[in-house]
Amino acid sequence: MPTIVVTGGGAGIGLAVARICAARGDRVAVLDIDGPSARASGAALAVQCDVSDESSVQRAFAAVLDRLGAADGVFANAAIDAGGFLHDLPFETWKRVLDTNLTGVYLTCKHALGQMLEAGKGGSIVCTSSPAASVGFAAGAAGAYSAAKGGVSALVRALAVDYAKHGIRVNAVVPGATETRLMWANVPPDAVPEMRRRICQEVPLGRLANPEEPARAVAWLLSDESSYVTGSHLVCDGGILAKASISV
């Protein structure tokens, strides 16, 4: 019975992954900065964890090892989105986004890899990237978020090469517009319905994803069914990256 660790597992895609993995019989640990949300996930182990704080991540993985055994699979998913154009983006905002979205992935991978190497059984790590790692968002004001996700994509490729010889696979999932709280983090509540309508017009499949849709892609990457897949980016974006930006 594999042990799966999900960061940012208290809501959205992370929660959907935790539930899919639990339903197929995995032992699941949910790590989330929001302790009550982590506990509400119903996972075998819930840990309040700030992925930007190494001591917090270290304690969380120690709890996983003690309660569930060494991690076999890890979904490094915790992220925030604080927008703003770079010329007036406060340094504190830039640092908070990079600390959570990139350093948080580094710390999660660091402690997951240490545990996997010690156990000597191989494993699978999946990191959440974004279309923003490859293209600029049309709405703009996503410089910090884009930089962090670009870093995640580069890190995934490097780690895949570094740890392949240990039987550890490292991949990324690239979700598109998904109906989660993070999706609307920078949108005023009264503007959400109109923004949702516009996005649905722009996505080739004509709708936002449900969290369970990219979650199924993650669950596959965490399973032995993807045993020869590493260093890849599994795009689950409704066709966003396939679409030219001009209407001709």
What residues act catalytically? 145
CA atoms of 73 and 86, how far apart (whole Å): 36
Question: In whole angstroms, what is the distance from residue 244 CA to residue 248 CA?
Answer: 9
CA 166 → CA 64, 84, 120, 225, distances in Å? 21, 41, 8, 18
- Tell me how far the alpha carbon of residue 159 is from its chain's centroid: 16
Distance CA 4, CA 27 (A): 6
CA pair distance 112, 110, nearest whole angstrom: 6
Q: Cα–Cα distance between 184 and 124 in angstroms, integer?
A: 30
Task: Locate the DSSP E strands across the chain.
Answer: 3-7, 27-32, 45-48, 73-76, 123-128, 168-175, 233-236
Q: Which two tokens stand for residue 29?
A: 């640990």
